[in-house]
Amino acid sequence: MAYGVSAGALIVLAMFANGWSVERCGVEFQKLAKFAFRPPTTAAVPGMNWIRAILSDSLYSETDMEIALKSVFGEKAFTEAAYAQRIGAKIGIPAATIKYPSSLCLFTNYNRSKQETRGYRVMTEAENIKTWEVGRSASAAPLYQRAKYLAGLGTFQDAGVLANNPLMIALAEFAAWNGNAQPDLVLNVGTGTSPNAPLRDEESRFITDSWILRLKRAYMSIMQGQRIWDDATSANLNAGRNCGRYRLDLTITNPPAIDDTTSMPVLVSMVYRDDILLGAVPEIAYHLFATLFYFELTALPQKTGSNLYVKGSILCTRKGRDAALPKIAKKLRRSKVYINGKSCRSIIETDEHGNIQQHLEFMTGQSLLIELKEEGSLRAFPISGSPYDITNLIERGSTTAVFGMRTHKKRVRELTCSRPSKRRRLCIACLSS
């Protein structure tokens, strides 16, 4: 599951709808920004930018933005994104309405249940909306771009004016699909946070602390995605001890303007000079690798004293002819499996369709924790859905119960390896500001 706001919405669409790598997204995003934020011909005339903004409702041409988005996403419908369908990615892009009171709407590439939502509305009637139109609606920042009208739906703007971090929406959508289960991993990516100003023993000044400037400072503070992250994590401190929660962000004292494309190389260099940020990336990568796998029984567990003798297989969410499978299999062969904290021997094979199977036999009690420790990692990480309760699984289903699915529904075996796995990936990625 992947969700993004504003610029993060465009990155999420490029990665999970187009299938672009992070490196390509970085290069293409800079090109798109430079094209969309081309200075108008009147920019050299003092005051003309503001006159243009008042008369045309934006500083920049919506035509340039839409040309750039069409060149990236084409004319395909958002719900028909081929790459997302192949890997089973669920994408959610928030946008805000423009009438008072402004509210959040969520465009998705998946069929959402009619379960009631709080704080936002899922656009179930937006099946024919194109991917570029979703991106255009989600990135229509007031002042910089005009709001986007979508026929039959309404007019939308950047959701950052209401919630500049999609984390709460992402967690709510995860809960709608998975009930009380906890996601295996939550990755929240920011675009820079200003440090908190220290308290000072001084009175306000007439000009520098006027009500207009105070209102601006308060609004800009609300816009920081870090606040939503702090609220979410502090409100749910004990949720899932094995649920990895990570936020990647920079501290920026003087954040650049949205349209300052000249600052992008400087921001990139700041990322590569931040030791704390770079130090967190390997652990996230190791954890993400573990969540590619889940466990299935191959036979009913046998009671042996107070324990159970279990036979099963670790399987991969990526199936069949997926180009990533050879690299995944190579890394898996160099990884160690741990059952309830103890190393376990295994046999790794591939079936006739190229799907990975890692066979295990072990003794366990009622609780089963399966972890992978990749070569180079300092610790092991739980595979998707781990830890499991063996007793409950036996009571609720046969050996066709899928451990990686918290609802333990029967898996429909794929007949051909070209079809994507229908198993839910218990992982959330959010791109925010």
Distance set, CA 23 to CA 13, 124, 289 (Å): 14, 32, 19
Whose tokens are 């180079």? That residue is: 376
DSSP state letters, 53-70:
HHHHSSSS-HHHHHHHHH
Cβ-proximal residues to 247 (8 Å cutoff; 6+ apart), any chain: 187, 188, 189, 190, 226, 229
- List 58, 137, 139, 158, catalytic entry: 158
Q: Known catalytic residue: 6?
A: yes
d(CA 329, CA 362): 22
| DSSP H or E segment with residue 108 | strand 104-108
> Would you state the structure tokens that stand for residue 45, as one six-digit string?
């005339």
| Ramachandran class of 381: left when φ > 0, alpha when ψ lies in -120 to 50, beta otherwise | beta
Question: Are the C-beta atoms of 129 and 136 separated by less than 8 Å?
Answer: no
d(CA 84, CA 16): 6
b/e map of 26-61 (b: 16 or more CB within 10 Å)? eebbeebbeebbeeeeeeeeeeebeebeeeeebbbb
β-strands 336-339, 370-373: how paired? antiparallel
Q: Known catalytic residue: 158?
A: yes
First vs last Cα of the chain: how many Å apart?
A: 18
User: How many C-alpha atoms does 382 have within 13 Å on its Cβ side?
Assistant: 21
Active site residues: 6, 158
